[in-house]
Amino acid sequence: MTGPARVLLAPDSFKGTMDAATVADALAVGVADAGGRALPCPLADGGEGTRDVLRRALGGELVRAAARGPLGDRIEGGFLLTNGGRTAVVETATASGLTLLAPERLDAWSATSAGTGDLIVAAVAAGARRVLLGVGGSACTDGGAGACAAIEAGGGLDGVELVVLCDVATPFENSARVFGPQKGADPDLVARLTDRLHETAAALPRDPRGRARTGAAGGLSGALWAAYDARLVSGIETVLDLVGFDALLAGADAVVTGEGRLDAQTADGKVISGVTRRAAGVGVPVWAVVGQSRLDAADTAALGLAGVAEATDQGRLRAAAASITASLGATEHPNP
């Protein structure tokens, strides 16, 4: 049976501009304008927006909790309780996020992960027996020292399972070199931060250096692995499973994904790389609509993308989705 093209819309947020749901909704209008059928599925990779993406997919209650911000000031944070209150979703960016600081306040040396520890403690106190922690988008490079101190001050984890959703595979000792500059660190400070990370690693119950994913959030993931036996998993792969992505993919003729910037880090555990891997496995083509692309045609092809369009606002998102959908035309659907 021939019918309208079914387009799965699976974008990340455009950091600092639009959340994933807003991007998906704009793309959906473009798909409909071109006569297609939109299948919205906003995504996240453990970074900013993970909590809201999982709330949309899983339901649950948002719980407010006081926490320390990246520079120690008191803020109102929160977490998601789902699965009958047994599972909490905590987002590092909520309390320790880069977006919480104005550019002139960036302080890579002083920024702390303590607020993330505060939220984990609050989630445990609320009755959660499993905590999913998204660790992307942090302002800190403290090797998790602040979070561990907060957890200890709060009485520990009391046997709660801690699963860390990592958006990068960087090892602990490289986190300052790879991510320090975007947190305000110059080369001299990167070197000092790296020395501090080595000192922190040596003092932990087991050494996180050299292990993939231990460098997420300035070493926070590695400290939680070392001190609390946290499981470090791919954020995007875990989110794809939790939102039922494969079932949606099975009914799609094409996928449109996206993020704020397509660059060399995209292949290292980001949303687009996770989407293209899943889609390639079932032969569904993928287009990316991004705020900015820093990759050439060979790099985008290596990612498994059929094409890339740049769009910086909702109007351009709609236009890009309409163009992609129109190129698909009517599609044969064995199971209408």
pLDDT per residue over 202-235, tens digit each?
A: 999 999 999 999 999 999 999 999 999 999 999 9
Going 145 to 101 to 13 to 84, the CA torsion angle's sign is positive
CB-based contacts of 320, cutoff 8 Å, min separation 6:
27, 30, 256, 289, 309, 311
Angle between helices 314-328 and 20-33 (to 10 degrees): 50
pTM, rounded to two decimals:
0.93
- Contact by Cβ (8 Å): 185, 253: no
* 3-state SS, residue 141: coil
Amino acid (one-letter) located at 147: A
User: Residue type at 164?
Assistant: V
Mean pLDDT of the chain: 94
Model confidence at 84: pLDDT above 80: yes
* The pLDDT of residue 332: 61
Structural domains of the chain ordered from first start: 2-43+243-332 (3.40.50.10350), 50-236 (3.90.1510.10)
Beta-bridge partners for 231? 163
Count of beta carbons in the 10 Å neighbourhood of residue 101: 17
295 has pLDDT over 90: no
- Residues 226-273 have pLDDT tens digits of 999 999 999 999 999 999 999 999 999 999 999 998 887 777 778 999
The predicted structure's pLDDT at residue 242: 97
pLDDT at 194 over 80: yes
What is the helix, strand, coil percentage profile of the chain, to 5?
45, 20, 35
